Amino acid sequence: MGTTKAHRDAATAAVRYFGSQMGLLRKRAGLTQPELARLIGYSEAMVAAVEQGRRIPQKDFIERVDDVLGADGLLKTGAPFIAQARYPAHFRDFVQLEAEAVSLYSYETVLVPGLLQTEDYTRALVSAHCPPLDDGTLEQRVSARMDRQVLLARNSGTVLGFVIEEAALYRRIGSAEVMRRQLQRLLDCMELRNVSIQVMPMRSGAHIGLNGPLLLMETADRHTVAYIETQGVSTFIWDREAVSAYGQRYGVIRTRALNTEESARLIERMAGEL
């Protein structure tokens, strides 16, 4: 069995197990699905889909069900494992490392990095998935990406650096208004003490970054890993010599990019043109 299929099967099993436990607790509480739905403020269809393992519940749903059924945290303890199932199989290991990262440095060539995206920008991107996603999966992917952005507001001193190609900011994802709000989101993030955002101007010509996106992350145990993703395939690079080379490349990319003040002025100008 391949790694991707194993991850997918494990995630499916976790969701089904959660649903079965939720159904058991509901019945022990003497509640029907419609009654539980009214008590937690969700639809009967949602309750039924979760119990049958067809929908992945979000954190709010899990917390409400746990409280109403008097589960004393039994269902809440499963929330982190259920949350992993909301991500594509190839991305789950990354999300786990990212959540505990000490520092993260990202270079993007065609899109705004996920940690900086607005909800509307993300929804427009996910809606373009091929083959198309069903509505439930689409919303799960959107909410999962938004949840990752807690990293921006964390007060643990995590350092986040982003270099974005200017061309990526001209690419209209969604409507003009969606892009305007996305550019404003970048400006807002630049006000955060632990975040730096630089734009690589198109006039910079040929440079090493044109080989593709790159991400460097320092883990909680102070190891640095490089991460590369394309067309749904992801690769972690742990080899110290290789990671060092990627670090050197990222350093060159940062020096070729506009500084943060110049980048902010460019983004402001672009937003004003929309």
pLDDT tens per residue across span 34-43: 999 999 998 8
Give the mean model confidence (pLDDT) for residues 129-141.
84
**Are the C-beta atoms of 162 and 106 separated by less than 8 Å?**
yes
8 A C-beta contact, residue 223 and residue 100: no
259: pLDDT confidence band, cut at 50, 70 and 90? very high
Cα–Cα distance measured from residue 69 to residue 184, given in angstroms and rounded to the nearest whole number? 42
Share of the chain above pLDDT 90, in %: 57
Q: Give the mean model confidence (pLDDT) for residues 127-153.
A: 84
The predicted structure's pLDDT at residue 94: 82
User: pLDDT at position 3, please?
Assistant: 44
Task: Identify the pLDDT of residue 13.
Answer: 78
- Quick: pLDDT tens for 116-134: 999 999 999 999 988 898 8
> Lowest-confidence range among 69-73, 80-84, 176-180, 206-210?
80-84
Report pLDDT for 1.
Answer: 37
User: Taking a C-beta distance cutoff of 8 angstroms, is the pair 197, 116 a contact?
Assistant: yes
What letters, b where the CB count within 10 A reaches 16 and e where it falls short, cover 214-249? bbbbbeeeeebbbbebeeeebeebeeeeebeebeeb
Q: What are phi and psi of 132, to 5 degrees?
A: -60, 145
pTM of the model: 0.74
Q: Is the pLDDT of residue 165 over 90?
A: yes
Q: Is pLDDT of 177 > 90? A: yes
State phi, psi for 198 to the nearest 5 degrees: -125, 150
Task: Identify the residue whose tokens are 């044109």.
Answer: 210
Indicate whether 4 pLDDT > 50: no
Ranking 36-40, 48-52, 78-82, 240-244 by mean pLDDT, the lowest is: 78-82
- Between 82 and 247, the higher pLDDT residue: 247
Q: Calculate the average pLDDT of the chain.
A: 88
Position 11 confidence tier, pLDDT thresholds 50, 70, 90: low
Output the DSSP codes for 196-224.
Answer: EEEEE-GGG-S-GGGG--EEEEE-TTS-E
The residue that leads in pLDDT, 106 or 137, is 106
The overall longest dimension of the chain from CA atoms, in Å, is 68
Give the pLDDT confidence score for residue 257 in this predicted structure.
Answer: 97
* For range 193-216, the mean pLDDT: 93
36 or 4, which is more confident? 36
Q: pLDDT band at residue 45, thresholds of 50, 70 and 90?
A: confident
* Residue type for position 176: A
The fraction of the chain above a pLDDT of 70, given in percent, is 93
- Amino acid 156: pLDDT: 57
